[in-house]
Copies of this chain bind each other. A is one copy, B any other.
Amino acid sequence: MSLVVVGSFGLDTVETPFGRREEVLGGSAVYFSLAASMFTQVKLAGNVGSDFPASAWKTLDSRGADRSGIQVFSDQPTFRWSGRYEGDMNEAETLLTELNVLAEPPCVPDNYRGAEFVFLANMGPDTQLEMLNQLQGKVVFADTMNLWIDIQRENLLALLARLDGIVLNDAEARSLTGESNLIRAGEALLKMGPKVAVVKKGEHGSFLFAPEFHFALPAYPTTQVVDPTGAGDSFAGGFLGSLAEMGEMSPANLRKAMAFGTVAASMTVERFSTEGLEKAAREQLERRYSELREFVQFEA
């Protein structure tokens, strides 16, 4: 089924205990689409500058994404982000954010409207609401971040009331709901509107909350975490991409989608930038999916 992602396309400068990379491909829509397009065709929307490099376009094209919804601005540069990870690398220290083209709202082509699945990556909830109005998707998931919880809470609540699913990390779930217990936080998220709440916990795995059931997974046990940038968006891409391929939001499909999100994220963190995800093939995801099942298996 069709899957639209609205989000950022950027150039990142990243430093981790394993090295440093300058001006490499990044952005939420990029990670999301590289993961999701292993399952279904992805339609991209968002803004770039004319400095967005040819190699980046090539990477986006490599999995057959529709890029007709990417606006190219000639007068402003592409979004830049720079960050550093230390120690257990569970959190990035942001050194620099240059919004550039992200200051302009994205604009989606007519043929994106009515898509079966939509992902609104992290951006201002005011913009997410505007995108939702334009896209009129059937199953809509969104991400958010602490900044918006703090400064656009009303808009975020209005968005949540219209979403099928929210995807956010554990600190954000706690902050948004005021519940320090994550299970309570998950239940509180559902009361805000969405049918499904996905809470990502980095190296500690993830939770899914739905009215009929709760589900949890550890992270895929990789021994090689080189650069966590984009792990959350890759998770969302594997999750929503596989869900779009399966078509229906049943409990069994949601559980499987969580596992595909988990293994997609594991491919991302093992290399800098999008290198791991670019190399990933569907069969490798399937193999890690089976390993993840074995990893949590115990007898009745």
A217→B214 contact, CB < 8 A = no
B182→A203 contact, CB < 8 A = yes
Which one of A54-62, A159-167, A221-229 is at the B interface?
A221-229
A100 CB to nearest chain B CB (Å): 34
Residues from chain B with a CB closer than 8 A to the CB of A294 are 213
Query: A17's closest neighbor in chain B, by CB?
Result: B180
A188 CB to nearest chain B CB (Å): 11
Bound state CA distance, A1 and B255, in angstroms? Answer: 38
- How many copies make up the complex? 2
Choice from B184, B201, B298 contacting A204 with Cβ under 8 Å = B201
Chain A interfacial residues counted at CB < 8 A = 41
Bound state CA distance, A174 and B203, in angstroms? Answer: 14
A200 CB to nearest chain B CB (Å): 12
A residues neighboring B (CB under 8 Å): 17, 87-89, 174, 180-184, 187, 201, 203-205, 207, 213-218, 221-225, 252, 255-256, 258-259, 290, 293-300
Residues from chain B with a CB closer than 8 A to the CB of A225 are 181
A298→B181 contact, CB < 8 A = no
